[in-house]
A and B are shown apart, each in its own frame.
Chain A
Amino acid sequence: MYTLTTKLKVFAIILMVVGAVFTAIGFLAVPADEAAVEEMLAKEEAAHGGAHGETHQVGEDHSGSTHEGAAGDHAMESHDTEDMHMETGYVTDNDVAHADDAHTTTPHEAEDHAGSHAEHVYHQLVNRPWSAVYVACFFFFMIGLGVLAFYAIQKVAQAGWSPVLFRVMEGISSYILPGGILMFLLLLVTGLGLNHIFTWMTPGIDDPTSEAYDHIVAGKTGFLNVPFWLIRAGIFLVGWNIYRMNIRKFSLKQDESPEGNVWYKKAFKHSAMFLVFFIVTESIMAWDWILSFDPHWFSTLFGWYVLASMLVSAITVIALVTIFLKGKGYLEFVNDSHIHDLAKFMFGFSIFWTYLWFSQFMLIWYSNIPEEVTYFVTRINDYNILFFGMVAINFLFPLLILMNSDFKRVNWFVVTAGIFILIGHYLDIYVMVMPGTVGASWFIGFPEIGAFMFFAGLFLLYVFNTMTKAPLLAKGDPFLGESKHFHY
C-alpha cells in the first residue's frame, strides 16, 4: 500500500495556495474600466516611442483600408479581427446595422463598435484570468480523461504488459471526478454570463435587430446554445465518471474473487462500450469546449487533434507517476521494459499529434481559403513564438530524445522528455483557447502560472490520495503474471 507522505501533501497544498493567490492577483490586476485601459495604452505608446505610434495611427484609420499582412504588431493587435471579417465574404450581412463599417463583426467587436480600441483591449484583459483558469482546468482534466481512455484501450486490447500499471492509471484517472466537477462549474458560470470568454454566448447575437448580431453564429445557434451545451457537457461528464467508478469497482472486486474472471469479463465489456461512447463524446467535447472559442471557424479533424494531445499528455503523466512511485520503492514489480513501453507510446503519440497538427495546418495553409485561414493568421501574427515553439517542443524533443531504444530505459531521459511534452501540450491548449478570448493581449503571467499551479496541486493531491486507497498491484488480473515478467 502506498502512503501519502506529508512532504507531498504539503507541496501540493502550497502549490494550490500559491496558485490561488496568483490567480486572484490576476483577477485583481484587471483594469477597472476602459478609461484605465486607455491610460495604460497611452503610457505604453509613449514608452515605445514614435515608431510605434506611427503604426498605431495606420491601424486607427481602419474604416477603408484592408492592411494586408500589416507588419506593425500593434496595428495587427487592434484590427486583425476586423481584417479577417472583411475576408470572410459575409461583408454585406451587417450593412443595414452598420452602413458605415463595411464588415461583419465579432461579438467582442460589436461591443467595441461605438467605442474605441481601448474598449476592445479592455474586454480582452477582462477575459484573460478567466481563460487562464479555463486552460489550466481543461489541461488537467484532459490528462485524467486521457488516462481513462488509455486504460480502457489496455483492457480491451488484453495488453500483457500493462496490468502492473493499472492501479497507477486508476489513480490518475480518478482526477476526472473533481476535475470534471470544476470543469462543469466553470462552464456553468460561463453559461450564466459571469464572463465573456465564449463570444457565441453574447446576448443578442442571433437577433437581427441587435447591434451584436452575427449572421454566422446565428446560423449555428441550433447547436451552440447555452442550455444544450451545458446538457451535453453534463451527459459527457456523467458518462465518463460512471465508467471510471465502475471500472475501479470491478478491478477491486476482481482482486477479491479472481475465480472465473467474472469481474474481469465485466470490465472488458464495459471498457469496449466506453471506448465507443468516448470517441463520440470526445469529439463533441472538443467542439464544445475548445473549438467554439472560434465560432466562425471549423475543422473536421479537430476532435482527433485534441484527442492526440490528450493521449500523449496522459501517457506522459502515467510514465512520470510510475517513475516517481518506483523511485520511492512502491512498484518493485515494474521493470525498465515497462518504462520503455510507456516511452515508446510517448514517442509514437507525439509523432501522431504532430501529424494531425501538420495535417490541419498544411491543408488550410495550402488552400488559403479566407474563412478558414484566419484561424492561423491570428496565431501566426499574435502568437508566433508560442505557436511554432510548441510544435518544436512537442515534436523535436520527443523525436530526438526518445528515438534511441536505450534512452527509453533511462529514467531521467524519460522524465526530461515528459516535462517538455507536458509544457508543450499546455501551450498547445493555450494556443487553441487564448486567441479566441484575449487575442493579442496575451501574456504568461500571474493568472496563467497561478491557475496552472493551482490545478497541478489539486491534481497531485487527489491522484496520490486515490493511490493510497488500494494496493498498487491489481493482483486479480488474469494477465498479471505475464505483465510482471514482461520483458522487451
Chain B
Amino acid sequence: MATHKIHALYNDDDVLLRAIKQIREQHYHIEEVFCPFPVHGLEKAMGLADTRLAINAFLYGIVGLAVATVMMNYIMIEDWPQNIGGKPSFSYLENMPAFVPIMFELTVFFAAHLMVITFYLRSRLWPFKKAENPDVRTTDDHFLMELDAHGEDIDSITKFLYDTGAVELVLIDKENH
C-alpha cells in the first residue's frame, strides 16, 4: 500500500508560521519543516519539546570540575608533594587558589566540547553523512513542509494547503522511491 506525503513549499517565514498554526488546528500531522535559516517561534508553533542540551552541559561541567580536582589532588598533593616555590602542598584546600584556573578551564572545556559532541550525535551530524535535503531550494530561499497525508483525502488537503499560502505542492508516493 502506498503511503502518501505532501511537500508544501512556502517562500516567506511569516506565511509559514501562520500555515503551521492553521495546519495544527486541523490536526494534520507535520513530519518535518526545512528552513534556510532559524525561524523564531517555529518550535513553539510546532509544539516541539524544549532541548535538554543545557542540562547536559551543566552535568558535563561538573564532570570536568571533578576531573580537574581529582587529577591535581593526585599529582600535586598525593603522589609527589614537592615544595615548589614555597607553595603549601600539604592539602588540596591549602593550595587551591593555584588550581582554580585549571579547574575553571577544564569545567568549561568539558561542558563545551561534550555538549557539542552530544549535539552532533543527537542531530546525527558527521562528516560524509548523506545530506537529507528534499529540495535544494530549501537552503536558499524556500521553506518546505512535509506532511503525512496517509489516510487523508488528497484533494481536500491540497486545497487546504494551497489556501494557507503554499506556492508549490508536491505529492510524494513512497512506493515510487
Contacts and interface: CB of A to CB of B under 8 A. Distances in A.
Contact of B97 (A362, A403, A405): A362
Interface string A364-389: 01101000000000000000000000
Tell me which of B54, B58, B86, B97 has the highest count of chain A C-beta atoms within 10 A of its own C-beta. Answer: B97
Contacts of A403: 58
A405 B97 CA distance: 30
Nearest to B87: A366
A368 B86 CA distance: 10
Q: Which range contains the number of A residues in contact with the other chain?
A: under 10
Contacts of A365: 97
A405 B53 CA distance: 13
Binding site secondary structure of chain B = helix
Contact of B54 (A358, A361, A362, A405): A405
Nearest to A355: B104
Contact of A366 (B54, B58, B97): B97
Contacts, number: 12
B98 A366 contact: yes
A362 B98 CA distance: 7
Contacts of A366: 97-98
Contacts of A358: 97, 100
Contacts of B100: 358, 362
**Range of interface residues on B (Cβ < 8 Å):** under 10
Contacts of B97: 358, 361-362, 365-366
Contacts of A361: 97
Contacts of B58: 403
Nearest to B101: A362
Nearest to A368: B86
A368 B94 CA distance: 14
B19 to A, nearest CB: 22
A366 B97 CA distance: 8
Contacts of B54: 405
B16 to A, nearest CB: 20
A63 B100 CA distance: 39
A366 B95 CA distance: 9
Interface in A219-270: none
Nearest to A361: B97
Interface in B69-102: 86, 97-98, 100
Nearest to A358: B100
Interface in A190-239: none
Contacts of B98: 362, 366
A8 B100 CA distance: 45
Interface in A35-64: none
Interface in B18-77: 54, 58
A365 B94 CA distance: 11
Interface in A384-428: 403, 405
Contacts of A405: 54
Closest 6 CB pairs of A and B: A362-B97, A365-B97, A366-B98, A358-B100, A362-B100, A366-B97
12 contacts: A358-B97, A358-B100, A361-B97, A362-B97, A362-B98, A362-B100, A365-B97, A366-B97, A366-B98, A368-B86, A403-B58, A405-B54
Given A361-B97, A368-B86, 10 more contacts: A358-B97, A358-B100, A362-B97, A362-B98, A362-B100, A365-B97, A366-B97, A366-B98, A403-B58, A405-B54
